[in-house]
Amino acid sequence: MTEAQTPSRATRPGRAEEFDAVIVGGSLAGSAAAIALGRAGARVALVEQRPDPQAYKQVCSHFIQASAVPALERLGLLQPMLDAGAVRSSFRIWTRWGWIVPPPDARRAGINLRRSLLDPLLRDTALATPGVESLLGHTAVDLVGGAGERVRGVVVRDRGGAERELRARLTVGADGRGSRVARLAGVATRTTPHGRFAYGTYFEGGAPDHAPDASLWMCDPQWAAGFPTDSGLTFYAAMPTKERLPEFRRDPLAALVKLLADLPDPPPIHEARAVDTVKGKIEMPNVEHEPIAPGLALVGDAALATDPLWGIGCGWALQSAEWLADAVGAPLAAGPGADDALDGGLARYRRRWRRGMIGHARVIEDFSPGRRLNPGERFVFSAAVHDGKLAATMDAFGSRSISPGRALARALPRAAAVHARQARKAVAA
Ligand SMILES: Cc1cc2nc3c(=O)[nH]c(=O)nc-3n(C[C@H](O)[C@H](O)[C@H](O)COP(=O)(O)OP(=O)(O)OC[C@H]3O[C@@H](n4cnc5c(N)ncnc54)[C@H](O)[C@@H]3O)c2cc1C
């Protein structure tokens, strides 16, 4: 790891430092992008506003969907995560018609590791990657270029107020929900409302049935979940609609435990002991940004921050970083003078990003205001409790391993056949 030095004066120095890529944000998306671009041969500056290398995202249920596990494998992080105690698991969903459980041979396993362990693991790996320089405790405050011109780097400020310019052929905004980089670049933004809030914490004991698989309760419209994870802990979370906010504000732990205990087929929450404070987030609109501009790419939540109910943001942070590095790694490593090739790579990244995410993002947005299940969802869910194949399709869709179009094309005819079969059984009985 190379800790870049800070100039002593509190003004921007005359001579800027040059990198192939400067990445703003050293969490999942930024660290993953730094590892992959560094390995591709690029010289990378990783800028993170928090000075502590052990810093981690505080409000997150940490469940990484199966669709992102290959990205972790490619980064060489799967085994270190397992060594750190990560738990592989699928999920089962409670609905008012019963539990939807994919058959064992069709289950796709995601992975669970607390962010307090995961984030430092990724960041340490990034900072140990040859070609990656870290600027911990530095905040990106401005872009070099931008506002209609090609972006050519960022201005960063250290904790003493000193500013410096980091010039790069590619600037990567990995600065999360509310991305300042996206705002400074003036990229197109789409925001849609979200009608729930989230509270949760880690518990010792009282794991849900069938642990280590996660359990989700879709109580239409209330929602709760238990995610078993490392160290024998379970993260229990609730995402109720906003009218239940006052009781959570009054006493978050009591409200969370009550909501979990009142669930149908509840987890043994009274046998569990909270080992952390209950943390929550109240405003979580879906925010989508145009993911590229000349000289600029956005990854992770900076590009697309969706309703966390579906547990996909961490996976998408890792996957978008992977797609970006695949698209621009070679032109960046080829050195200066290849801006056309870089722009071609950015266009490829945009296409891959849109193909992987936008369909899912629209489905997530539609459910996000806190509405009840629609007739199509009721038709499919009520059939899936009776049919392993349909449950497996829902699992593939929920883990974002297949597109919404493909899921619908498989699920509707299957659900119709299951309902017809159930009707015949009922008549025979
Ligand atoms: C309640 C809740 C539950 C969730 N549960 C899940 C779940 O179970 N599974 C899942 O997959 N996802 C979940 N998510 C979503 C997940 O937390 C995010 O999608 C994920 O953390 C995005 O990673 P990221 O690297 O893009 O951004 P972040 O993790 O937000 O990181 C952004 C980084 O940028 C840094 N930064 C910001 N601005 C600057 C700046 N100007 N200069 C320098 N550094 C800067 C920040 O300090 C931070 O380190 C949940 C989210 C919430 C709110």
CA–CA separation, 23 vs 131, rounded Å?
Answer: 13
Asked if the structure places residue 85 within a domain, the reply is no
Does the beta carbon of 280 sit less than 6 angstroms from any atom of ligand 1? no
Does the beta carbon of 137 sit less than 6 angstroms from any atom of ligand 1? no
Q: Are residues 179 and 206 in the same domain?
A: no
Does the beta carbon of 308 sit less than 6 angstroms from any atom of ligand 1? yes
**pLDDT reading at 338 higher than 80:** no
Pairing assessment for the beta strands 2-3 and 304-305 based on DSSP bridges:
unpaired
Q: Are residues 42 and 126 in the same domain?
A: yes
Q: Are residues 9 and 141 in the same domain?
A: yes
**pLDDT reading at 3 higher than 80:** no
Answer with the one of 225, 251, 281 that is the final residue of a domain.
Answer: 281
pLDDT of residue 146: 77
Asked if the structure places residue 144 within a domain, the reply is yes
Cα 91 to middle of ligand 1, angstroms: 22
* Nearest Cα residue to atom 7 of ligand 1: 311
- pLDDT tier at 4 (50, 70, 90 boundaries)? very low
**For residue 214, what are the β-bridge partners?**
91
| Mean pLDDT score, 380-407 | 96
**pLDDT reading at 226 higher than 80:** yes
Q: Are residues 208 and 316 in the same domain?
A: no
pLDDT of residue 11: 41
Q: Are residues 161 and 45 in the same domain?
A: yes
pLDDT of residue 136: 97
Asked if the structure places residue 128 within a domain, the reply is yes
Q: Are residues 206 and 295 in the same domain?
A: no
Give per-residue pLDDT as tens, 52-100.
999 999 999 999 999 999 999 999 999 999 999 999 999 999 999 999 9
User: What's the Cα-to-Cα distance from 69 to each of 169, 304, 317, rounded to whole Å?
Assistant: 30, 19, 12
**pLDDT reading at 397 higher than 50:** yes
pLDDT of residue 8: 34
Does the beta carbon of 313 sit less than 6 angstroms from any atom of ligand 1? yes
Q: Which of 357, 273, 361 is nearest to 318 (CA)?
A: 357
Does the beta carbon of 60 sit less than 6 angstroms from any atom of ligand 1? yes
**pLDDT reading at 12 higher than 50:** no
Give per-residue pLDDT as tens, 13-49.
445 689 999 999 999 999 999 999 999 999 999 999 9
Give per-residue pLDDT as tens, 356-377.
999 999 999 999 999 999 999 9
CATH number at residue 240: 3.30.9.100
Asked if the structure places residue 93 within a domain, the reply is no
Q: Are residues 352 and 382 in the same domain?
A: no
| Mean pLDDT score, 377-384 | 98
Asked if the structure places residue 172 within a domain, the reply is yes
**pLDDT reading at 387 higher than 80:** yes
Atom from ligand 1 closest to the CA of residue 200: 1
**pLDDT reading at 412 higher than 60:** yes
Answer with the one of 264, 281, 298 that is the final residue of a domain.
Answer: 281
Residue 267 contacts residue 236 (beta carbons within 8 Å): yes
Does the beta carbon of 258 sit less than 6 angstroms from any atom of ligand 1? no
Asked if the structure places residue 182 within a domain, the reply is yes
CA–CA separation, 340 vs 264, rounded Å?
Answer: 58
- pLDDT tier at 106 (50, 70, 90 boundaries)? confident
Pairing assessment for the beta strands 132-136 and 44-48 based on DSSP bridges:
parallel
| Mean pLDDT score, 264-287 | 96
**pLDDT reading at 147 higher than 80:** no
* Nearest Cα residue to atom 39 of ligand 1: 175
User: What's the Cα-to-Cα distance from 220 to each of 38, 263, 354, rounded to whole Å?
Assistant: 45, 12, 29
Q: Are residues 136 and 44 in the same domain?
A: yes
Does the beta carbon of 281 sit less than 6 angstroms from any atom of ligand 1? yes
Q: Are residues 180 and 205 in the same domain?
A: no
**pLDDT reading at 324 higher than 50:** yes
- pLDDT tier at 107 (50, 70, 90 boundaries)? confident
Q: What is the three-state SS of the chain?
A: CEECCCCCCCCCCCCCEEEEEEEECCCHHHHHHHHHHHHCCCCEEEEECCCCCCCCCCCCCCEECHHHHHHHHHCCCHHHHHHCCCEEECEEEEECCEEECCCHHHCCCEEECCHHHHHHHHHHHHHCCCCEEEEECCEEEEEEECCCCCEEEEEEECCCCCEEEEEEEEEEECCCCCCHHHHHHCCCEEEECCCECEEEEEEECCCCCCCCCEEEEECCCCEEEEEECHHHEEEEEECCEHHHHHHHHHCHHHHHHHHHHCCCCCCCHHHCEECCCCEEECCCCEEEECCEECCEEECHHHCEECCHHHCCHHHHHHHHHHHHHHHHHHHHHCCCCCHHHHHHHHHHHHHHHHHHHHHHHHHHHHHCCCCCCCHHHHHHHHHHCCCHHHHHHHHHHHCCCCCHHHHHHHHHHHHHHHHHHHHHHHHHC
Q: Are residues 214 and 290 in the same domain?
A: no
CATH number at residue 34: 3.50.50.60
Asked if the structure places residue 108 within a domain, the reply is no
| Two tokens, residue 139 | 């905040």
pLDDT of residue 336: 76
Cα 253 to middle of ligand 1, angstroms: 23
Distance of CA 21 to the CA centre of its chain: 22
- pLDDT tier at 9 (50, 70, 90 boundaries)? very low
Cα 26 to middle of ligand 1, angstroms: 10
What is the number of domains present in the chain?
A: 3
Give per-residue pLDDT as tens, 173-210.
999 999 999 999 999 999 999 999 999 999 999 999 99
Answer with the one of 367, 383, 414 that is the final residue of a domain.
Answer: 367
- For the chain, give the mean pLDDT: 94
**pLDDT reading at 2 higher than 70:** no
* Nearest Cα residue to atom 16 of ligand 1: 313
Domain span holding position 206: 196-281
Does the beta carbon of 63 sit less than 6 angstroms from any atom of ligand 1? yes
Q: Are residues 158 and 45 in the same domain?
A: yes
- pLDDT tier at 225 (50, 70, 90 boundaries)? very high
Residue 344 contacts residue 354 (beta carbons within 8 Å): no
Q: Are residues 386 and 244 in the same domain?
A: no
Asked if the structure places residue 142 within a domain, the reply is yes
**pLDDT reading at 5 higher than 50:** no
- Would residue 300 be called left, alpha or beta, if left means φ above 0 and alpha means ψ between -120 and 50 degrees? left
Residue 44 contacts residue 132 (beta carbons within 8 Å): yes
pLDDT of residue 335: 78
